[in-house]
Amino acid sequence: AADYRIDDPSMQALAVQVRMRAAFNLGIDGSPTAVDRLERLLVDPSPDVRYNAAAGLARNGDIRAVPLLCDMLDPAITEGVQAEVLAEAQPAKRIIIYETALQAIEKLAALNVKADLTPVLAALERLANTSSASDQVRVAAKEVAENLVKRPSPR
């Protein structure tokens, strides 16, 4: 399912949904094979598939998620939001992307105490200080950043 592709352009949304759900389920599975497959999904054409793959890796303590988690926290990167077909749903999609990244970062930090999360901390600080995010998102980003700062330094 993670490789599901359809040549028919009218069916592309279905193919993305299948791969997106496969990425989510691979993250739950967490086996070495599933985690390796998630790494390959980090370069999927769909941002939703990539984001699910990054979240799945993070939920398994895998630092290969870090670059994409940073992208998910970047308000300037709108590809995932633009993938939402209904314009009125795009603001909610942005919040979902932020929340997914924040939860994944917390899980990654808890599972991989030796991971160098300096790039994530920088992305969190940028998000916490942007005017383009809601107060709720900025506060959540500050809280996650504070928790990361409290972690023992990686060795």
Average pLDDT over residues 18-31: 94
Among the listed residues 75, 67, 115, the one whose alpha carbon sits nearest the alpha carbon of residue 97: 75
Question: Quick one: pLDDT at residue 2?
Answer: 55
Question: Quick one: pLDDT at residue 152?
Answer: 76
Q: Is the full-model pTM beyond 0.75? A: yes
Report the chain's terminal Cα–Cα distance, integer Å.
38
pLDDT of 1 higher than 60: no
Average pLDDT over residues 21-35: 95
At 37-90, the pLDDT tens digits run 999 999 999 999 999 999 999 999 999 999 999 999 999 999 999 999 899 999
| Token digits of residue 21 | 């759900």
Residue 112: Cβ-neighbour burial (10 angstroms; 0-12, 13-18, 19+): middle
Backbone φ and ψ of 113, nearest 5° = -65, -15
